[in-house]
Amino acid sequence: MLHEAAPAKVNLFLHVTGKREDGYHLLDSLVVFAGCGDELTVTASDTLTLQVCGPFGATLAGEGDNLVLRAALALAAATGVRATGALVLIKNLPVASGIGGGSADAAAALRLLARHWGVPAADDVLALGLGADVPVCLAGQAARMQGVGERLGPAPALPDFGLVLVNPGVAVATPAVFRARHGGFRLQADLPDAWPDAAALVATLAACANDLEAPAIALAPVIGEVLETIRTTPGALLARMSGSGATCFALFATAKEAEGAAEKLDRPGWWSWGGGVAARAIAT
């Protein structure tokens, strides 16, 4: 059995910088990966199958167009192999939550099946065909993401810090959030080469924003409630929504502080996690 982690993607900021003629928006974002996520395994099989389980598995049960299967079929077509393998997806992350669960799962499938089938790793073109967040999830490490998701560059050197994630149990559709967005476009963020500590990181991020936060709150006001709750949690240095929502995050000075804060944020219907940032996706 082979195993691949699918860590949660967190947009520390997300600027909408323009719009292409085909309707796709241009973005500028600093992406990190949390120390939590979904898990994907594969064992030998004559056919390609997918079993979904875990805390949020029921949400995807019976879904015929799961991104994991789409990724498997795309990789098989690109490499000329027959798609086989018994895949098991342990769904630990909320669905449609702005932390790249589906994209991370697809990326994990591409990494996992390349090893399982003994074929070359998927490239960013194949990954982008599965979704805008799949290329950065395929790389599985902190990155500066621009364009429609296809332009990836190194992230500034990050200091140690803690991260809390909170989802209020509502799914927010990304297209609907973009449609609800009004106003012009924002400039790309000016980032240093490195941050010496969490306070310096927060100072930079405070001058940035998530341009999808306001429209997401308009569609799901509970997101505003989550933000206010985590913003006023002792030790929180900055609170913001990730991606197109509804998951929000707060930064803390240490992973231990974040773990303690997450334990105090337990609410009926809410999902929360606290800890550190993953260096990169882990395979076993």
Pull the structure tokens for residue 169. Answer: 């149990």
Distance CA 153, CA 135 (A): 11
Task: Say whether the peptide bond before residue 107 is cis (omega within 30 degrees of 0).
Answer: no
Question: What are the phi and psi torsion angles at 250 (to 5°)?
Answer: -135, 145
Who wins on pLDDT, 227 or 279? 227
Q: What is the mean pLDDT of residues 208-219?
A: 97
What is the residue whose two structure tokens read 């980032």?
Answer: 191
pLDDT in tens, 5-20: 999 999 999 999 999 9
Q: Which positions are catalytic?
A: 9, 133
Task: Give the number of other CB atoms < 10 A from CB of residue 5.
Answer: 22
Res 43: pLDDT: 98
State pTM to two decimals: 0.94
pLDDT for the residue 283:
64
Percent of the chain with pLDDT over 70: 96
Any alpha helices (H) in the chain, and if so which ranges? 67-79, 101-117, 124-128, 134-139, 174-180, 198-206, 213-219, 222-231, 255-263
pLDDT band of residue 280 (cuts 50, 70, 90) is low
User: pLDDT digit string (tens) for 28-63?
Assistant: 999 999 999 999 999 999 999 999 999 998 877 666
The CATH 3.30.230.10 domain(s) of the chain lie at: 2-151
Q: What percent of the chain clears pLDDT 90, i.e. is strictly above it? A: 88
2-151 topology per CATH: Ribosomal Protein S5; domain 2 (3.30.230)
pLDDT of residue 19: 93
Q: What is the pLDDT of residue 62?
A: 60
CB 23 within 8 A of CB 61: no
Cα dist from 76 to 64, 126, 143, 277, whole Å: 18, 11, 27, 32
Q: What is the pLDDT of residue 63?
A: 62
CA nearest to 40, candidates 143, 152, 140:
140
When pLDDT is cut at 50, 70 and 90, the band that residue 202 belongs to is very high
**Residue whose tokens read 């967190």:** 10
- Return mean pLDDT, the chain: 94
CATH 3.30.70.890 domain span(s) along the chain = 156-275
Q: Are the beta carbons of 253 and 161 closer than 8 angstroms?
A: yes
Instruction: State yes or no: pLDDT of 279 exceeds 90.
Output: no
| Residue 210 confidence class, pLDDT cut points 50, 70, 90 | very high
Asked if residue 86 lies in contact with residue 41, where contact means CB atoms within 8 angstroms, the answer is no
Average pLDDT over residues 117-129: 96
* Tens of pLDDT, residues 74-113: 999 999 999 999 999 999 999 889 998 899 999 999 999 9
Q: Please name the CATH architecture into which domain 156-275 falls.
A: 2-Layer Sandwich (3.30)
Whether the CB-CB separation of 52 and 89 falls below 8 Å is answered with yes
